[in-house]
Amino acid sequence: MLDGVIRAGTNEWEIPVGYVPGMRVPGRFFLSDALAALLEPGAVQQLANVATLPGIVRCSLGMPDIHWGYGFPIGGVAAFSLDEGVISPGGVGFDINCGVRLFTTPLAQADIKKPREFIESLFHAVPTGVGAKSSLKISPAALTAVMEKGARWAVEAGYGVERDLARCEEGGCMKQADIRAVSAKARARGIPQGGTLGSGNHFLEIQVVSEIYDEIAAKAFGLLKGQICCMIHCGSRGLGHQVCTDHLKTLETATKKYHITLPDRQLACAPIQSPEGKAYFGAMAAAANYAWANRQLIMHAARLQFERMFSIGYESMPLVYDVTHNVAKIEEHTVDGHRVTLCVHRKGATRSFGPGTRDLPGDLATIGQPVIIPGSMGTSSFVLKGTATAMERTFGSTCHGSGRVMSRSQAKKRMTGKEVADHLLAQGIIVRAPNEAAIADEAPEVYKPSSEVVQVVHDAGLSALVARLSPLGVIKG
């Protein structure tokens, strides 16, 4: 482990106050000894930097997929007091409400007789990659409704069913959205991109449920061994990126106005209750709503392809859940025995609400929230459930993925996209992307093993394993 970091338990580490000047609370992260070897000093520095922000409560937290980002580390969680605390776009990221959703089908693997043809049809149904435009024309008035209503806008427009909404974190809509705080530039970027996947690590994947760890929870989530599922990973597209860019600039000025000293400009922030802080929060919520509508539109397009290819009913493909992993939310938590309302930032971290918490659909109230953890291309994804331990220890948060260990330039030097695709095909996994470089960038070897990451959160009790999903076909953005 790095100098100055103290072991605080099995798979748990503390960054003491003083590791960087100005820390108000310690840093704490969860990591196995095997994963500790991959930890970057930059990520620890960023976790410590977050601990210097005003109003931070208890500690600056890192999940086991922690890695070097900008502002907050990726895998970072921090909660702030509403009275003295700040809100920071650096704690959310450019891709506001980047998230994951999973829906099931009544199909088994043997039902997919022509997998290549099916993947190809999905690739053409979902606009993918740099510069891809939506066939859907969202009018300026509709865009306003998207930003105010989120997934509900899509369902009301015919792109889904009412039940889908109950299976989204926050019902697929943050009510605090303030469209006045969304610039004309952000809107201009949002109009042509509804229902597009984007690029980078975004994907749409056909998977099979390969293992069940918790029969009761799996049944409640609607997961059966051998069943075909579809996972969608994407965010708020150019609209969200522009909201972050615009407000970062405003908050840079606000940081000086409110005399906040920062170790990194990307942590630009303002008091949550200040006009600048409120404007960012309102715009961020509007972008988060765009992302929920976007995933709803993509799910609809995928469901139509399943319907067409396999003659199955739309309603036989229920949404398991939709989680966000780049967001700031106002939530109630217990701190030192008192119920308090906090602003929880999750940047590359997933909400993991335990049984009995607010915002769970009635039939999941005793189980806990479904937590969806995507694997890297070609490796398993996992479904877990939220826990009481996460509520006590991490403001109801867990990991979000596997975390990169290799840069894109290194990845390209190691293997070409074609070599990666051939290697995956030998394992029965079909990959389709707009270009080969996109495949090389996201080869399985460039990520930490997803199974190790989820084992750490399972062992630490931050979420509990329910099912493993193995990839069959991937569309890369």
Partner 1 sequence: MSYEELPHTADVKIRACAPTLDALFGEACRALMQVMYGGDRSGGTTRSIDLDAPDQESLFCDFLSEVLYVSEVDGLVFRQADVRLEGMHIHAVLDGEPFDPVRHNKGTEVKGISYSGLSIQKDAKGYMLDILFDV
Q: Which is nearer to partner 1, 188 or 415 (CB)?
A: 188
Candidates 265-273, 329-337, 371-379, 451-459; binding stretch for partner 1 (CB under 8 A):
265-273
Per-residue interface string for the shown chain with partner 1, residues 46-75, x marking contact by CB under 8 A: ---------------------xxxxx--x-
Rounded CA separation 178/144 (Å): 10
Question: What is the closest distance, in whole angstroms, from the C-beta atom of residue 133 to partner 1 in the complex?
Answer: 8
Considering only residues 149-168, where is the footprint of partner 1 by CB under 8 A? none
Considering only residues 395-414, where is the footprint of partner 1 by CB under 8 A? 404-410
User: How many residues sit in the footprint of partner 1 (CB under 8 A)?
Assistant: 46
Question: What is the closest distance, in whole angstroms, from the C-beta atom of residue 75 to partner 1 in the complex?
Answer: 10
Candidates 89-97, 114-122, 143-151, 357-365; binding stretch for partner 1 (CB under 8 A):
89-97
Strands 27-30 and 60-70: parallel
How far lies 24's CA from each of 12, 17, 230, 338, in Å?
20, 7, 43, 20
Strands 338-347 and 227-234: unpaired
Rounded CA separation 141/147 (Å): 10
* Interface with partner 1 (CB under 8 A), residue from 11, 60, 227, 242: 242
State yes or no: residue 142 binds partner 1 (CB under 8 A).
Answer: no
Q: Which is nearer to partner 1, 11 or 199 (CB)?
A: 199
Instruction: Give the CA dihedral 467, 472, 473, 476, nearest 10 degrees.
Output: 50
Considering only residues 288-327, where is the footprint of partner 1 by CB under 8 A? none
Rounded CA separation 227/205 (Å): 14
The residue among 49, 105, 104, 51 whose CA lies nearest residue 79 is 51
State yes or no: residue 185 binds partner 1 (CB under 8 A).
Answer: yes
Q: Which is nearer to partner 1, 130 or 216 (CB)?
A: 130
Burial class (CB in 10 A: 0-12, 13-18, 19+), 245: middle
The catalytic residue among 202, 400, 423, 458 is 400
Strands 203-212 and 227-234: antiparallel
Is 247 considered catalytic here? no
Q: Which is nearer to partner 1, 264 or 392 (CB)?
A: 264
Rounded CA separation 431/292 (Å): 25
The residue among 271, 272, 276 whose CA lies nearest residue 246 is 276
Interacting residues with partner 1 (CB under 8 A): 40, 67-71, 74, 90, 93-95, 129-132, 185, 188-189, 198-200, 238, 241-242, 244-245, 248-249, 252, 264-266, 268, 404-410, 434-435, 437-438, 441, 477
Positions marked active-site: 400
